[in-house]
Amino acid sequence: MPASFSHSTFPCFLDFEASSLSEQSYPVQVAWSDGEGQVECWLIRPADDWRDWCEGAEEIHGITRESIEDEGQDIAWVCRRMNQALAGKVVFTDGVHLDRFWLRRLFVAGNAMPRFRLGDLFKLLEPRLPPPEYRPPDLLRNLIDKAWKLTPGFAHQADTDVKYMLNLWQLVRHGSALSAGADTGPSMSPRLYPPGHGPTGVQAHVRGRDGGY
């Protein structure tokens, strides 16, 4: 049975932006939404031993190393704030294996434990889509494209990506999935890889992990 949400509440969503997709990567920005659909977003000041940086990733999310050093919040403070806001909740993400890796990096550096757990956005959506035998093959791609078109802001900033997930949830929740079969143009993937990176590095490192964070 799919999880039940009242008309006045939303699932919570989360997104990290990171220094790269390598095994040495770390989160540079985090955003999440609460049960009312309100979004909170913070830059994260890196730990002293977080030295990894990828210019390709910077080109995608637009966050510089200098900005997180100058404007980022202390890691321990970010961990406390996330636990205050999200304690006891399942928080959904469109890149759950990557985000679990970065969540663990954050909380280990902050000497804390998350009081919430991450869930897979697409497993949340699946029971609310039409049955596979009645589903256009490009349905999910078209829903993703439509959600991005409804989302203002700079793609691959964490708060924008959380708003995209809220829009995608709303489209499915209100039945837009039933009329989204028509082609809406080129697909806009919610996860883009920096140049020279594919499903390797940290993604390969954490692929298939469903336990822990």
Count of domains forming the chain: 1
> Consecutive sets of 10 residues in the chain, 213 residues long: mean pLDDT of each?
52 98 97 96 98 96 97 98 97 97 98 98 94 89 94 91 96 71 41 37 40 33
Query: SS in 3 state form for the chain?
Result: CCCCCCCCCCCEEEEEEECCCCCCCCEEEEEEECCCCCEEEEEECCCCCCCCCCHHHHHHHCCCHHHHHHHCECHHHHHHHHHHHHCCCEEEECCHHHHHHHHHHHHHHCCCCCCCEEEEHHHHHHHHCCCHHHCCCCHHHHHHHHHHHCCCCCCCCHHHHHHHHHHHHHHHHCCHHHHCCCCCCCCCCCCCCCCCCCCCHHHHHHCCCCCCC
Is residue 91 included in any domain, yes or no? Answer: yes
Q: Is residue 113 part of a domain?
A: yes
In a domain, 102, yes or no: yes
The per-residue pLDDT for 151 is: 95
> Token pair of 76, please?
């321990």
CATH number at residue 98: 3.30.420.10
**Would you say residue 40 lies in a domain?**
yes
pTM: 0.81
Identify whether 7 is part of a domain: no
Residue 184: C-alpha distances to residues 100, 121, 149, 181, 189 (Å): 31, 22, 10, 9, 13
Instruction: Tell me, yes or no, whether 95 lies in a domain.
Output: yes
Q: What is the pLDDT of residue 188?
A: 40
Sheet holding 27-33, edge to edge: 39-43, 27-33, 12-18, 90-93, 117-120
Question: What's the pLDDT at 162?
Answer: 97
Question: Is 149 a member of any domain?
Answer: yes
| The pLDDT value given to residue 27 | 98
CA distances from 78 to 135, 154, 167, 168, 201 (A): 41, 22, 25, 26, 25
Per-residue confidence (pLDDT) for residue 149, from 0 to 100: 95
pLDDT at 210: 37
Structural domain that includes position 121: 12-186
Whether residue 200 is contained in a domain is answered as no
